[in-house]
Amino acid sequence: MPKYVIIGGVAGGATAATRLRRLDESAEIIILEKGEYISYGGCGLPYYIGGLVDGRDKLTLQNPQGLKNRYNIDVRIRSEALAIDPAAKTVLVKDLAGENEYTESYDKLILAPGGSPFKPPMPGVNSPGVFTLRTIPDGDRIIDFVKENHPKSATIVGAGFIGIELAENFRALSLEVNILQLSDQVLPILDRDMVPMVHAALRAAGVNLYLNNSLEAITLNPEGGLNLKLNTGTLKTDLVVLSVGVRPDSALAKNAGLKVDDRGGIVVDSQMMTSDPDIYAVGDVALITDFVTGLPAMVPLAAPATKQARIAADNICGLPSKYEGSVGTSILKVFDLTVALTGMSEKAAKARGVAYDKIFLLASDHVNYYPGAKPMWLKVLFDTDKGRLLGAQIVGLQGVDRRIDVLAVALRARLAPEEIAALDLAYAPPYGAAKDPVNMVGFMIEDLINNLTKQFHWSEVDDLPKSGEALLVDVRGEDEFSQGHLPGFINVPLKTLRAQLAGWDRAKPVYVNCEGGLRSYIAARILSQNGFTALYLSGGYRLYSQVKGDLK
């Protein structure tokens, strides 16, 4: 009878255990979990704190007795794995309740310990009222503090997904909320030109953004609360949540002699096998492959963790299965806004030396004549050879989830732009358009790859040739133009464009702008078919003004 031991009992560990049981009824299966809870929805913790998730029992998908009754799995909570002996195939375990230690043998071992919140080494980081958020007990401690101390303000250090979700939920508790972020933007995983709408949404909801700020020390305020020393001054607050990243809990693997990279990721193959053939690793600790680049990556998300766990269990039970990498598809609620991404960002492409081009698209979630249509911004990266997708980011109010999922599938399937354009997507006026934004992505890339159109970007506007060296044309209406326009551009409304071409110098390039990019694209097609070299501003004046205004 084979014996399988799993270290860690949350997303990856619980999934691996139940898959092992479904494949092998005869096996002895043991989960060692040093915490008090298993198989819980950690992603729901901010909403638990905010009261939207009513009670910790709503977060727990299973408990030890439930796994025993349904799957005959021996779940040992409050049991910490102290060391692994790969030669003897044993794990040294500490029973945290009884304070005794014992040795557990295994035939196959799965490492799914997850990660731990990073606490920066600074004065006062362990002061009362300073928290991290990773587990249900972490959430309980924050809830208890709020109930007992009635804070009026909260400061979140770090503006990643958890930090932004916490901001919304602290606002739901009527707290004044501050976000401290070291860089000049929230959500550093996004490109800088995709966050202006996010910044605006946070500020509109009453969140104070302290960008380009670092926290240097925390001290107790004699009158109550905490004083935060920043690189730019001081800030008083009643509680602090540190949300500055997660580090993989890979010390066990490293001490056991398993191959670990310099970031702490456990090196695995496509079967999730470590450098020891009897030990597998999944989830936050596993160094997997980035699907787009083929380079090593760590993706601390629940969905990839559960897929990896299933694959590890399959291979342990003799069912060949491969994990072909992650595209890192993610989505986030920011008050009424939705932010989503898949694949590679532009900043990542630049850092890795990947050849790419990009498009910006301002679209509505459904046809504008049906009530309630809302705008969304799409940014899509593609390779310069065949136009295949490298990554996408979307920010909008409605319909973002549907589009990012389709683009994630298109990216993973390596669809050509003409195949994306041809996708047969659901349409009715309340839900979309006959030319869905995803189809439009295909059309736009196809035109660029086939040299039917040329574009320029918001970041190039300030360096355009002077008006004497090029024609700078804004094809919006006169009223729109008068409300704001790009420096040096003249107003030639699209409806009058054809009538004015006779007197223009065809030797000069024409840079065309409109509000969102559609009219300037049409103008560029008119111009190029009349002997001009024409480029249109991707994303138009709307994107340029949003980004420039946000960068001030």
Catalytic residue status for 317: no
CA distances to 27, 70, 298, 506 from 2, in Å: 5, 19, 30, 78
Q: Measured between alpha carbons, how far is 248 from 359 in angstroms, rounded to an integer?
A: 35
DSSP state of 287: E
Q: What is the DSSP letter of 34?
A: S
**Pick from 2, 188, 26: nearest CA to 110:** 2
380, 410 Cβ separation under 8 angstroms: no
* Nearest residue to 312 via CA among 332, 285, 335: 285
d(CA 364, CA 95): 56
Beta-strand (E) ranges in 299-356?
330-334, 337-343
Residue with tokens 């679209």: 363
State whether residue 506 is helix, strand or coil. coil
**For the range 401-404, what are the long-range contacts, defined as Cβ-Cβ under 8 Å and sequence gap of 24 or more?**
401/331, 401/338, 401/340, 403/340, 403/376, 403/378, 403/436, 403/437, 403/438, 404/329, 404/331, 404/340, 404/341, 404/342
d(CA 81, CA 253): 11
- Among 43, 251, 409, 526, which one carries the catalytic annotation? 43
Helix (H) or strand (E) holding 50: helix 45-50
DSSP 404-436: HHHHHHHHHTT--HHHHHT------TTT--SS-
Are residues 238 and 152 in contact, defined by beta-carbon separation less than 8 angstroms?
A: yes
Q: Cα–Cα distances in Å, from 342 out to 77, 327, 416, 481? A: 35, 6, 17, 35
The DSSP line for 76-130 is EETEEEEEEETTTTEEEEEETTTTEEEEEE-SEEEE---EEE-----TTTTSTTE
The CA R_g of the chain, rounded to the nearest whole Å, is 27
Catalogue the active-site residues.
43
